[in-house]
Amino acid sequence: MNLLLREVGRATLRLAEAGVPSPRHDAEELAAWVHGVKRGELHTVPDAEFDARFWEAVNRRAAREPLQHITGRAYFRFLELLVGPGVFVPRPETEVVAGWAIDKLREMDVAEPLVVDLCTGSAAIALSIAQEVPRSRVHAVDLDENALAWAKRNIERMPEGQRVTLHQADVTVACPELNGRVDLVVSNPPYIPVSDYDRVAPEARDYDPDLALWGGPDGLDVIRAIERTAFRLLRDGGWVVVEHGDEQGLEVPRIFPETNGWADTVVRRDLNNRDRFVTARKVSEPL
């Protein structure tokens, strides 16, 4: 075993003691980043080329600074995104949300699907849709200037970004020029109740922007606003896809009732079999 792999083993123990949820993965990812190789190539790094900056990075991670802030990158579906302070780090759970939206768009008999991504953050969902639904046109909306700056960086460095348009706006007033024309609205909004502050992992609580985390007393304030905005934007038969917390699977479907003009409202689960997002289809004007 070479020196780097031995140090990765030591770093794994250090991160585990610090309460990092995925210590081996993070130790390997930091080692690969510092040494400019892939995780599967760590064994190829000669002992003489071991870089002590690896331990600087490990100590930052042990202090619960997000891995993605240290490396400056986050992986989401088939994308490598630039992230850092000021933007929400996309989570694996949201990949399932984006995947459902992509599958639904592919099912539609629409030549150039029109999509709105509310609370876009790093533009992870918007760019995934643009990449995997090649003729789609995506409008990505966020209120936070810092998040929009990161989204702009990601959009400008990717070919599919040419079909993504950024908007700075509150979800309640976003994209009025698209009213009644949109095929699908998708969102990973802030949905954590403010009362859960002490239960949130430090990587999120201390580093992700407040605007991306807290959804009011019950966590559902922004989702309620998205319901009205989605109805305004969607054409008849269009779909809304909204992520929520795994303990909100009973409350969120009630925000999209038939009396508000929705049908086929379903709570869907993530890869851990936890309630993760709601989908609904616009069918009529509210009763």
Please state the residue numbers annotated as binding site: 142, 188-191
- Cβ-in-10-Å burial (0-12, 13-18, 19+) of 110 comes to middle
List, as residue ranges, the binding site for S-adenosyl-L-methionine: 142, 188
**Phi, then psi, of 75 in degrees rounded to 5:** -100, 135
* Amino acid letter, 94: T
The answer to whether 252 and 234 have CB atoms below 8 angstroms apart is no
Token pair of 59, please? 């100590």
Nearest C-alpha neighbor of 148 from the set 162, 132, 164, 134: 164
**Phi, then psi, of 30 in degrees rounded to 5:** -65, -40
Taking the C-alpha atoms of residue 214 and residue 204, their distance in angstroms, rounded to an integer, is 11
The answer to whether 129 and 138 have CB atoms below 8 angstroms apart is yes
Helix (H) or strand (E) holding 282: strand 275-282
Taking the C-alpha atoms of residue 285 and residue 287, their distance in angstroms, rounded to an integer, is 6
Strand pairing report for 114-118 and 137-142: parallel
CB environment 78-94: b (16+ within 10 A), e (fewer): ebebbbbebbbbbeebb
List, as residue ranges, the binding site for substrate: 188-191
Residues facing residue 167 across a β-bridge: 141
Q: Helices 53-62 and 3-17: crossing angle, nearest 10°?
A: 20
